[in-house]
Structure 1
Amino acid sequence: MFWIIVSIGIALFVYFVLIKPFTYWKERNVPSYSVLYMWADTFLGLIRYRTLPDAVIKLYKDFPNCRYFGAYQFSKPALIVKDTELIKLITVKDFDHFVDHSLFAPMESEELWKRNLISLKGDQWRDMRATLSPSFTGSKMKMMFGLMTDCAKQFVKYFKNQNENTTEMEMKDIFTRFTIDVIASTAFGISCDSLRDRENEFYLMGKKITSFGDNILENLKLFAFIFFPRLMKALGTTISDPKVNNFFRRIIRDNIRVREEKNIVRMDMIHLLMEAKKERSQNIDNLEEKRRKRELTEEDITAQAMIFFLAGFDTVATLMCFMAYELAINPSIQQRLQTEIDDTLNECSETLTYERLTKMKYMDAVISESLRKWPTGVALERTCVKPYTIQPVNDNENPVYLKEGNSVLIPLMGFHRDPKYFPEPDRFDPDRFADENKDSINAYAYLPFGSGPRSCIGNRFALMEIKLAFFYVLSEFDITVTEKTQIPIKLSKKLQLSAEGGFWLGLKQRNNK
């Protein structure tokens, strides 16, 4: 009898935990993978059988005759959307049904992470987005232009002082140091020189934040957080490093204290959040407004600063690496960009202005093509917040009824590498984004910064950062391949988009300089 009960218990566990969750889409007549396939794929994901871009492109290519199909994020249902008209509906026209992101892992114990702009939901997200948006307008970018320019000049000066014709280096390391200096200056009001002061706190904390997912043990830790959140919380385990959290708390606390004591006003993100904090504590009387616009705390300000730091240095540095790589293996494109840079310098008497930088069309095209071929966000995700029906369009479709909590995943990199939208997708061709060709690009097949109201708030900041770095680097150097350069590039199997073994390239002094 005992073994019968045990056997029944095991059978019930297997069915309700290991099988039943993976029948969600089949029960709703949505094309989907088999249960066996999903468990095999989950295992392959844990051991990093594929790179992240390969996994996303595979998603895009699966079920080739379907506008969508059902998959799972571990055991959570996710609808994979492969149709540009559906993307337009989900991200723009019917955005009020898909306002939120779902958290990849439970964040109840991660105080800073659950408060940041990416994690916030509903009205709290709308409120914080409205508060932060003024930090990223064109006029604010113009105000930050000088600070970024100083960082770019400092960056280039370091390599000019090497007194070597060609300097070989790992580009992720140097671009990370540059982007950290930019963020420290423009967002925190702190001057850094990470190429010379190589172990400064900002750099070390940045490396700690981005090291998550670097090995299989950390993948298993994430797996445990998803399937056994209560156990992990009871064990006192956190996803983020407490040292990193406390570093940012200290930086923000000291920053706010100095600004208040010395009446320092810097028109940056921290200033806007400080002003919003003051206004709310003084002016919110209406109960409904109090519910929607809760008072901002120092912890809220720290959370936004932390996510801005993370998004502003690592993803930007990664894109810069891929762009440098493409310029190195496509010297004719690099020379054409250098010609535009030289002409621009001549037109503005060797002193670059914000207005002139924004008019560099070939620079824009090179960056746009880098974002197409190597989008740092390889997929977009939205969460259904109220019932939504996808109406059938083709004969093989039935209505799909999405309910609150269902995820929608858009395999962005698949669109960017689809010859239907971008002929010869593996070829690096900035002319795709020339003025005469822009109109032929499907706006919902090219989404490097997302789409709709929940698109990347800092895209202008990132683009200016990249433009200034390459403007000053290419005005003095050629970016070249070296013996260590991988051609073709081999992608890493880490959780983040990166190159196996790093991005090794050279900086060679230009002959005419």
Structure 2
Amino acid sequence: MLWIVVAIAVIAWVYRLLTRPHKYWLEKGVKQGNPGFLFGDNWGTVFRKRSFAEMVLMVYNICPKARYTGLYQFLQPTLLLKDPDLIKQITVKDFDHFVDHRSFISEDIEPLWAKNLFALTGKKWHQMRTTLSPAFTSSKMKYMFTLISQSGEQFVNHFLKKDENLITIEMKDTFTRFTNDVIANTAFGVECDSLGDRENEFYLMGKEITNFRGFWKTLKIFGYFVVPRVLKFFKVGIFSNRVRHFFDNLIKTNIQSREKHGIVRPDMIHLLLEARKNGIKHDEKLVQDTGFATVEESEIHKNPKNAKAEITDQDMTSQALLFFFAGFDSVSTLMCFMSHELAVNPDIQKRLIEEVDETRDVCKGQITYGGVLSMKYMDMVVSEALRKWPSSVAVDRVCTKPYTIEAKYPDERPLLLEKNAVVWLPIFGLHRDPNHYPEPECFDPERFNDRNKINIKPYTYLPFGSGPRNCIGSRFALLEIKTLFFYILSHFEIVPVEKTQIPLVISKKKFNLTAEKGFWLGLKRRSL
């Protein structure tokens, strides 16, 4: 009988231990929802009751008038910021308190991931960002445009060769093959044709490193959130040895070949090699920027004194791999959503095609960097696609030293954030807030016309994050998207087919924002 009493007492103690963290925000006077046992606010995503984006929106709407609300990533208390002024305060004005992202993998376990710009923290991040920043300016995008354009032309020629008036395709698979080829070409110096050679090694490796499905990978991700010290103790990494060897060897042999034969290509490896040898200075020439969604680089990254003295081959591999992660999945997904919106909004597509035709005529049939960026309506459509379907539905910041959010309203009290506290920028919530964007479910590029875009409240539109730690690749992503859609719409209309899901439903089975039944659409050949 005694052992039953002991067992009950132990169970009660463990239960209290695991539920105690979910009272953290209540004890600080912060409004929160109803977190599930152990899983916190992630319980719905874990058990596939709601998508991650829907979870962010749910927490965002817990208390409509609050400047912030509390949530729990499993047992980790997280503060979700809703007020644009507070977001600016934390990500810009007081950035020195919120420099880092939450770190999961230590460098000694997975250097291929831990050394990339997103994962680096503190001084190491600051040095690497300052070193890499000049490689992502508008002038450098112009430098790499030729390679992006080549991939776009190769993409559309693949479908022009087909003797079909209407080609039905699954857009996600198709666009990942395009983004794979762009990244291979611009970041790794490798030319691919993933539509023609569907089983090429580079594409298969890219699929493997960006695929987080499967029991063991899911278990790893769960472990990184709940018991990171255990995984660190057993040195559980993200990638297989095969993947590590492939990308390490790819960069090393590429560098050796270039240095031996004096090869120069307008790509990322060349820019990184230049940074390693002589450093790259910020080009202050006035070059047309990539659009409304482009994020400005902070002045703190333009001081060469903050740059890293040396970039190792491992550093270069890690940055190129991050480029792959961001470009392979995130950019291709945005392209899918944009394609769907054009297909179900034919009036918008018709106007965009008219602009594409006019631009092609002005450029005499050969698209230029300036031609792509001159398309105002294209920028409006891309900006609205990023508003409705942001590639990152939320991004985090970690409090690196104690910080107090002062009370602003009578029902608030000063909120102390201890060191290592996590805050979220709820991008999906901000972009779907009717107070910022009336009828947020409606796809309306006119929100971003010259008259309306000046009225968008700062820090309510954050497709590439905010502050000095924003996405360094915004210019590249926007240029890549606009270039491809220029080529597609020059020859095809994007139309719904029998398998198109209308209305589109967000998948609850995948962590990333994607469609429940895939992105099935048709490319209908235009009569030119």
Query: Is it true that 1:172 corresponds to 2:172 in the alignment?
Result: yes
Once the two structures are TM-superposed, the CA of residue 32 in structure 1 deviates from its matched residue by 2.7
1:180-222 Cα shifts (integer Å, max 9, x gaps): 111111112211111101111121111112210x356543332
Once the two structures are TM-superposed, the CA of residue 9 in structure 1 deviates from its matched residue by 4.3
Mapped to 2, the partners of 1:150 and 1:295 lie a distance apart of: 32
2:287 corresponds to: none
SS in structure 2 at match of 1:103 = coil
Unaligned runs of at least 5 residues, structure 2: 280-303
Once the two structures are TM-superposed, the CA of residue 225 in structure 1 deviates from its matched residue by 3.2
Rate the CA distance shift 1:215–1:48 in 2: closer, same or farther, 3 A.
Answer: farther
2:427 partner letter: L
Alpha-carbon contact 1:106-1:226 (below 8 Å) kept: no
2:112 corresponds to: 112
1:284 corresponds to: none
SS in structure 2 at match of 1:24 = helix
1:244 partner letter: V
1:356-405 Cα shifts (integer Å, max 9, x gaps): 22111000000000000100100121111111111111111000011210
Query: Is it true that 1:359 corresponds to 2:374 in the alignment?
Result: yes
Query: Is it true that 1:487 corresponds to 2:502 in the alignment?
Result: yes
Mapped to 2, the partners of 1:335 and 1:164 lie a distance apart of: 21
Once the two structures are TM-superposed, the CA of residue 5 in structure 1 deviates from its matched residue by 5.5
1:340 corresponds to: 355
Once the two structures are TM-superposed, the CA of residue 269 in structure 1 deviates from its matched residue by 2.7
Query: Is it true that 1:504 corresponds to 2:520 in the alignment?
Result: yes
Mapped to 2, the partners of 1:237 and 1:338 lie a distance apart of: 50
Once the two structures are TM-superposed, the CA of residue 64 in structure 1 deviates from its matched residue by 2.1
Alignment of 1:34-433 (within 5 A): 39=39, 41-104=41-104, 109-212=109-212, 214-215=213-214, 218-233=217-232, 235=234, 237-278=236-277, 293=308, 295-433=310-448
1:442 corresponds to: 457
Alpha-carbon contact 1:60-1:411 (below 8 Å) kept: yes
Mapped to 1, the partners of 2:230 and 2:466 lie a distance apart of: 37
2:483 corresponds to: 468
Rate the CA distance shift 1:486–1:34 in 2: closer, same or farther, 3 A.
Answer: closer
1:285 corresponds to: none
1:153 partner letter: E
SS in structure 2 at match of 1:479 = strand
Once the two structures are TM-superposed, the CA of residue 40 in structure 1 deviates from its matched residue by 6.2
Once the two structures are TM-superposed, the CA of residue 3 in structure 1 deviates from its matched residue by 5.9
Q: Bigger CA drift: 240-249 or 388-397?
A: 240-249
Alpha-carbon contact 1:380-1:410 (below 8 Å) kept: yes
Alpha-carbon contact 2:78-2:422 (below 8 Å) kept: yes
Mapped to 2, the partners of 1:98 and 1:110 lie a distance apart of: 24
Rate the CA distance shift 1:277–1:355 in 2: closer, same or farther, 3 A.
Answer: closer
Alpha-carbon contact 1:124-1:292 (below 8 Å) kept: no
Mapped to 2, the partners of 1:260 and 1:99 lie a distance apart of: 36
SS in structure 2 at match of 1:409 = strand
Query: Is it true that 1:19 corresponds to 2:34 in the alignment?
Result: no
Once the two structures are TM-superposed, the CA of residue 456 in structure 1 deviates from its matched residue by 0.8
Once the two structures are TM-superposed, the CA of residue 240 in structure 1 deviates from its matched residue by 2.7
1:272 partner letter: L
Once the two structures are TM-superposed, the CA of residue 42 in structure 1 deviates from its matched residue by 3.8
1:396-432 Cα shifts (integer Å, max 9, x gaps): 1000011210010121111111111111111111111
SS in structure 1 at match of 2:69 = strand
Alpha-carbon contact 1:384-1:406 (below 8 Å) kept: yes
2:260 partner letter: E
Mapped to 1, the partners of 2:120 and 2:40 lie a distance apart of: 33
Rate the CA distance shift 1:329–1:19 in 2: closer, same or farther, 3 A.
Answer: same
Q: Bigger CA drift: 91-100 or 473-482?
A: 91-100
Mapped to 2, the partners of 1:324 and 1:121 lie a distance apart of: 36
Rate the CA distance shift 1:291–1:143 in 2: closer, same or farther, 3 A.
Answer: closer
SS in structure 2 at match of 1:363 = helix
1:97-154 Cα shifts (integer Å, max 9, x gaps): 1111002566751221111100111111111111111211111111111111111111
Once the two structures are TM-superposed, the CA of residue 320 in structure 1 deviates from its matched residue by 0.5
1:460-482 Cα shifts (integer Å, max 9, x gaps): 10111011100011010111110
Alpha-carbon contact 2:40-2:72 (below 8 Å) kept: no
Once the two structures are TM-superposed, the CA of residue 505 in structure 1 deviates from its matched residue by 0.4
Alpha-carbon contact 1:177-1:195 (below 8 Å) kept: yes
SS in structure 2 at match of 1:57 = helix
Mapped to 1, the partners of 2:34 and 2:157 lie a distance apart of: 57
Mapped to 2, the partners of 1:234 and 1:385 lie a distance apart of: 24
Mapped to 2, the partners of 1:109 and 1:324 lie a distance apart of: 39
2:467 corresponds to: 452
Mapped to 2, the partners of 1:408 and 1:342 lie a distance apart of: 45
Mapped to 1, the partners of 2:500 and 2:108 lie a distance apart of: 43
1:282-303 Cα shifts (integer Å, max 9, x gaps): xxxxxxx999947432211111
Mapped to 2, the partners of 1:468 and 1:194 lie a distance apart of: 18
Alpha-carbon contact 2:406-2:414 (below 8 Å) kept: yes
SS in structure 2 at match of 1:469 = helix
SS in structure 1 at match of 2:187 = helix
Alpha-carbon contact 1:59-1:411 (below 8 Å) kept: no
Mapped to 2, the partners of 1:225 and 1:145 lie a distance apart of: 38
2:522 partner letter: G
Normalising by structure 2, we get a TM-score of 0.90
Alpha-carbon contact 1:177-1:194 (below 8 Å) kept: yes
Unaligned runs of at least 5 residues, structure 1: 281-288
Structure number with higher helix proportion: 1
Once the two structures are TM-superposed, the CA of residue 501 in structure 1 deviates from its matched residue by 2.6
